[in-house]
Structure 1
């Protein structure tokens, strides 16, 4: 279509637009003026190609300029007044959320770092890149087919863009992994752990079952030999070439992949071993499925008789019974949560989930670490206690001086741990010492330590000793890898002793039961038990009819100032809470009446109890 035809088609602004087009050819037109001209024509029905023809630019260029319509008018005005660069303005087009755009600019406006890449990162931090392992695993097409939206950046290479709905993506990943786990469960495994991102050392302490590779069939063996012969022929023909032809290079790669598949044969395992072993299912960094079979947990090892022989023949173990029971299924755990069985809402108080206990004891470990660092006398006593045991207990030691502090890692942490008062105090103290210590020169370090006054030396010693504190719960392992039950009991006793010596109280240290760190993680029976212990029986009766989510929320409010602690955080022999005796718990907001004489409140509470 020629220019005159386009003018006829959109006669409302032909002269103005022709003038802009001429100005664009003669001099640099302001990008916003160009965008507005493009937008006017586009609103009147002109295609990208028609607009490009009028302004003598590419259709892609028109698309990029029209993308500026996604940017808020406020930011466009800032750009027009030279408050930002064009590259920065274009970076905001990755989202059409104007409020979020303006929020990001306000955060960066006075910052030294407001490059386009920084703007894009902040605007897309709640999205998932298409190159993420989860997106590669399910496929962007499947995500879009399920209703997901993909955000693209026309101005920069975006590697497939950003997926706007992480929750949908995680659901698709979980559904696919669960489907795969169901198929593998049919092989007879006792348990299956499914996690898109298994942690480092996930199989530590587990015994790997020895299996035998499934043999090749005659057809597979013949195919493998043919591939090897073809590979050798191509290598001999092109081995001396400086550069392989593309088709030859591609074929060699295909052959290598096929031969590797022959080497990675499925394994055959003994049926009795399968019945007590499990499988880990995950995704690697490239989005490929990873299935790691045949691991036995210590508690699932076959029981041995006292004389060292196995159980009597004919006495089937529980695992063997379940293997012959067609209704028995592997327990499939998705992430940190077991997908079966469903929670029983009965009155039985069950043990706390293992991960929750680990997270709770991580709080205690950090609080005790802080308390010990603030009490030089107890810290030095603890160190001397350790040294006396090593010296007079005739324990083996390697090296010159085997008195050391091993920094204890906290493997599982809830979201509030890093912001707890103890965490902040430990970090600030550590950074203050670190800025003064000459770590780069060993001789200088010795001289610096030697020159410290006695009070500073004791303070520093207490800080260093505190990093060896370990009050964490671990699953006992009677087979030598990890801590034994005796060792775990000893750890708990010593943690209690140090807590009493330092005067540590987890309530004073800032721990409070919340939905996130405890109440939302346990059964309804556990929630009611906590409220009874911390706020009294009447308070528990007020909420016992609620659904779990509402119950946990109200329990958090009722227990906020009660001083209640879960068992892993208590000193042995201490009460669960320090309730205010004689005080009645306030009613939940949605149960509280407006009557001032209190009678309505009593009747409402009685009705709530009856309804429960």
Structure 2
């Protein structure tokens, strides 16, 4: 006959007055964690005691009950009730539901306390989201839910934001198929089909980090910090029906604008509206674009306007601001660090002074009738209006004075009757033909080398302008080569008669680089100091100190720098031969070494736009290998080219890596035979012709989920 199964007997429950309970010393919880006692007390006051307390009778020395009960499990609930009693919100004799265990049983009180805490399972985040959603549907607001559970409103919004995620992905998360961080990344987009495509594309990959998910979901959007978005304004964009994707789980810099065509239309309309207002001033032409390339005004004469005088009120405001600035500067000149409010006030004063001093300019109406205006968007999203440029064909039909008019970049530009029009950008991007996708280690494209050397030329100009001794030596070197017949003056980097070099090919954003802005600021500062009438120029230069003359000499001579690569005619029919290009670049290396040019210090960084998206996968991997190490290159070698370029930009951001055209040659350069003819010689690998044989891979398929 089988033995009967021993039945389990549960401990009885009963209501015990609170003043009959004492906290046991056997409770294993010693460290505060989770919800505070204060929050638990408020929860009990709102909802009552949801879970009873486990107690044991307190026995005397003879083993008899004393009428008191100790609490080995439920100590936080006991302390919360104690707080309510002390606050007079709960009576001392209030009945507390308790489970009473046998004090003489085989189970220790510590085991009971430990089991209660260990066996408590935290709520799954998805269950929390669903509960919050039910309460929201039941009429509670985000703020009311947050207040009820003593959490921030943002925490509630984060959980509710998961409603944007596809139900299929929610189920995958519930089955532990992805992490909470990955699920949160998907909430950036509301497009369930797109989310599922992205997951299908990466689910079998070893690399499926949240940042990668966010990037794939937002790659066809525009950041709210983009100058086009700032120019239009998020409010105007949303009013027009545009959607903004936002990330509640990490800083999103304002979010992403999803409707790019709408943004482009709003940008165009606003620029056109601004141009229409400016047209009322009587200008002959107005060029409108999101941005213009560096040197867009080359060959145009810039009008000399007269700043409009300050009104008495403006002058009084300016004086008061300067006085306050000087007072604060004196007060805190000994401080190691400025208080936040003072630092903020300094910024406000500087902005206000700059605004007042940026006076509008009055032009001669006759000149306005033949001149034009460039209208674009500045780096910070503000409207940029550059007035007063006259084309050569619009000049008055009068005999010009001897010499030529200085161009806006400080070079002597002779009128040719035709002016190269500014390159119009589309959506802030230069239109470029698609680059080949082969993976072979092919030579760098000529256009890319031209763009890179344009950056180097401009940075070299800026560096030389701050080194008067080297500038003087460079010009003297050129003069000697011009004067003595045993030297040749061809193929040199210093083109000293000073003729500014136009960059027919350049990367987008060259105009906004640190070195371009430095040159422009320095040029404008000298322009303000020099006389308007050329008849007064000699006396004005003579009046400068030796140091000032040297600084101006360095500035002017820097415009003669030409470190550009250009594709030469192999048969000598062009303006410069292949050998001449070699000589120019070698000469530029001498100059760069003399002034200590470092393109990283100058501010150049490899990006998708200026290099990584323009070369083959083999060159991308080579760059990452050189700049970030073999391990980093292996992390991205499986990616499609577009993703690889973006990841490479991140990996190389602070690596100090430079492509070959921007590096200085190691060691001393070999002497160049200046008496040699212009016969062809093999260019360095990075300057080799695209006709050199290279192996080509099959064209990569586009990632459907990222289109």
TM-score, with normalisation over the residues of structure 1? 0.49
Structure 1 or 2: larger helix share? Answer: 1
Bigger Rg over Cα: 2
Indicate the structure whose relative CO is greater, using CA pairs within 8 Å and at least 6 residues apart.
Answer: 2
TM-score by length of 2: 0.43
